[in-house]
A and B are shown apart, each in its own frame.
Chain A
Amino acid sequence: MVNRRVVVTGLGVVSPNGVGITAFLHSLQQGISGLKFIPKYEELKYNCQVSGVPDFDWNSLHAYLPDVTFHGLKGVGIGYAVKAALDAWMDAGNNVEQDEVNWDTGCVFGNSVADSENMKRVIAMVDAKEARKLGSRVVEQMMNSGPTAYISGLLNLGNKIVTNSSACATGSQSVLMGYEYIKHGYAKRMLVGSTEYIDQYIFGAFDSMRILSRKFNAVPEKASRPMSATAGGFVPGSGSAALVLEDLEYAQARGANIYAEILGGANNSGGQRDGGSMTAPNPEGIVRCIKDALSNAQILPNEIDLISGHLTATGADKLEIQNWIKALKRESGNFPFINSVKSMIGHCLSAAGSIEIVAVILQLMHGFIHPNINLEDPNPEITKLIDIDSIPVKRIDKEIDIVAKSNFGFGDVNTCLIFSKYKQNG
């Protein structure tokens, strides 16, 4: 088999703590939270009244969409996805305005559910016997493949176009699928990523599960506390991120900037057995997933400098670290650095993986490890397992070579990816 290398050449992000790469990088470096108190959630009597909401100017989409398309676009998740994807495309040095179909380039973009606030409007009109007034633009925004359909149409993408969905593993799964597709020679480039718009209805359903952070409504920036003794649930967030993945030779031939390399990855399920369930992972599934990712990437556990964890700020943080220890056979002072973007932005569900992967690429590019914020009180159960110095609370400026990234989703699905700084003779 031809040994193709897959590199990252473009990034775009709509994150609760930064819209656009420059703003997001700044927030990551400075440890700036994007979580806000949502008055509406207090009125709705939610336990958790905090959310990660991108500071998104809807009218900015005028620059990305023809007026005809902008007029009638209501799906917020689609809007986020369009911005992230087109930013990534342009960041990779491509033009948006072109007529030819890009037969070599495909798209894997994920999401969870279509905008339910939008659906509410549809339901109200149907119930009022006014379905005939819904018009032509509802279906394209209700369908799960809405984001991919918008993106591929705007960028004339002509290779495989897939909408993936695996709950909180969606974003990293989309990156892995794009990587595999290029690695196996089916496409030269893949635009990958995911989007999430958590509206009040979806938020309410999560709130009812009693798995959300509820004790920090008065201090929203403190509400997401991965690995801390006071981690009492996650904070749902919205956003999107996109990456342009490319066959190395193809990227070199067009003189693209190369940001990082994907060495490999794995995607599996614990089968919802042996501790695994709809909402909890089977530890063996996670350990296997990490080991499979390492062997697919052909690297040794000791080569990992940093783990960008799933780490949502629940009791599962400790279990995740136990699984990393088991998979890498590294513990105490020998454990790699570990951080969680969620300490700043909460849990962006379907978009978590892609936003967090953009954070990984930025750390590789700019030589730093972002801080874990809100870790004034590290969980002693965790610091018993790994050295406290491996969980930085301040930014560390340091060249890092290899980062392992994981995400785990409802349905007991796991993804792990291995990223590396790009080296010519790698």
Chain B
Amino acid sequence: MDRHSILEELKKVLAPYTKNKELLNSVTEHTNLITDLHINSANLVDIIIDAEAKYNIEIDMDAAEKISTVGSCIDVILEKMNHAS
């Protein structure tokens, strides 16, 4: 699975937690979840749980701490997917 298709999938995961849906149209790998999308930091946990279910991976707390931008999210997902396979 390439980075671009993960990014498109991630937008769907992020949607329920993003108050202003229009912001999702301009998401790039550099978009910061908290400062750009204004996602409540408490909801990062829920996004991680949703991503785990979607990709059938487990994102431990150490890996979760690396997540700040959409790009870092993709890094962690790819790393865990490769690790799993």
Interface residues of A (CB under 8 A from B): 66-68, 71-72, 132-133, 135-137
Q: Which of B3-11, B27-35, B43-51 contacts A (4 or more CB under 8 A)?
A: B43-51
- CB–CB B42/A136 < 8 A: yes
Q: For the complex, what is the distance from the CA of A71 to the CA of B21, rounded to whole Å? A: 14
User: Contact residues of B with A, CB < 8 Å?
Assistant: 16-19, 21, 40, 42-43, 45-46, 49, 52
Residues of A within 8 A of B43 (CB): 68, 136
Instruction: List 20 A–B pairs whose Cβ atoms lie within 8 Å, in order of A's numbering.
Output: A66-B19, A67-B16, A67-B19, A67-B21, A68-B16, A68-B17, A68-B18, A68-B19, A68-B40, A68-B43, A71-B17, A72-B16, A72-B46, A132-B49, A133-B49, A135-B49, A136-B42, A136-B43, A136-B45, A137-B46
Contact call A71/B16, Cβ cutoff below 8 A: yes
Rank and list the top 6 A-B pairs by shortest CB-CB distance, nearest first.
A71-B16, A136-B42, A135-B46, A136-B45, A135-B49, A136-B46
14 new A-B contacts at CB < 8 Å, known A67-B16, A135-B49? A66-B19, A67-B19, A67-B21, A68-B16, A68-B18, A71-B16, A72-B16, A72-B46, A133-B49, A135-B45, A136-B42, A136-B43, A136-B45, A137-B46
Which of the listed residues A68, A71, A137 has the most CB atoms from chain B within 10 Å of its own CB?
A: A68
Central interface residue in A66, A67, A132, A136, by most chain B CB within 10 Å: A136
Rounded to whole Å, the gap between the CB of A96 and the closest CB of chain B is: 15
Chain B residues lying within 8 Å of A68, measured Cβ to Cβ, are: 16-19, 40, 43
Nearest residue (CB) in A for B18 is: A68
CA of A72 to CA of B49 in the docked complex: distance in angstroms? 13
- By secondary structure, the A interface counts as loop
A137 to B43 CA separation, bound complex (whole angstroms): 8
Considering the complex, give the chain B residue whose CB is closest to the CB of A70: B16
Q: How far is the CA of A71 from the CA of B42 in the complex (A)?
A: 14
Residues on B with beta carbons closer than 8 Å to the beta carbon of A135: 45-46, 49
Which chain A positions have C-beta within 8 A of B18? 68
Chain A residue numbers with a CB within 8 Å of B21 are 67
- Please give, as numbers and ranges, the residues of chain A lying within 8 Å of B16 by CB-CB distance: 67-68, 71-72
* Complex CA distance for A136 and B47, rounded to whole angstroms: 10
A137 to B47, CA, bound (A): 12
Bound Cα distance from A72 to B18, whole angstroms: 13
Query: What are the residues of chain B within 8 A of A67 when measuring CB–CB?
Result: 16, 19, 21
Q: How far is the CB of A150 from chain B (nearest CB, A)?
A: 14
**Alpha-carbon gap, A143 to B81, bound state (A):** 36
Q: Cα distance A66–B39 when bound, in Å? A: 13
A50 to chain B, nearest CB (A): 37
Chain B residue nearest in CB terms to A133: B49
User: Once the chains are docked, how many angstroms separate the CA of A68 from the CA of B42?
Assistant: 12
> Least Cβ distance of B70 to chain A in Å?
18
| A368 CB, nearest partner CB in chain B, Å | 44
- When chains A and B are docked, how far (Å) is the Cα of A136 from the Cα of B42? 6
Cα A132 to Cα B59 with chains together (Å)? 10
A66 to B42, CA, bound (A): 16
A418 → chain B, closest Cβ, in Å?
A: 44
Min Cβ gap B15→A in Å is 8
Residues of B near A71 (CB, < 8 A) are 16-17
Find chain A residues with CB under 8 A from B46 CB. Answer: 72, 135-137
Q: How far is the CA of A279 from the CA of B35 in the complex (A)?
A: 54
Name B52's closest neighbour in chain A (CB-CB): A133
Query: Residues of B contacting A132 with CB < 8 Å?
Result: 49
For A72, what are the chain B residues with a Cβ–Cβ distance below 8 Å?
A: 16, 46
Q: How far apart sit A137 and B17, CA to CA, in the bound complex (Å)?
A: 12
Q: What is the CA–CA distance of A137 and B46 in the complex, to the nearest angstrom?
A: 8
In the assembled complex, how far is the CB of residue B36 from the closest CB belonging to chain A, in whole angstroms?
15
Instruction: Please give me the residue from chain A that is nearest to B58 by CB atom.
Output: A132
Which residues of B are found within 8 Å of A66, using beta-carbon distances?
19
A67 to B16, CA, bound (A): 6
A133 to B18, CA, bound (A): 20
B residues in contact with A136, CB < 8 Å: 42-43, 45-46
- B40: which A residues are within 8 A, CB to CB? 68
B residues less than 8 Å from A133 (CB atoms): 49, 52
Nearest-Cβ distance from residue A337 to partner chain B, whole angstroms: 51
For the complex, what is the distance from the CA of A67 to the CA of B46, rounded to whole Å? 14
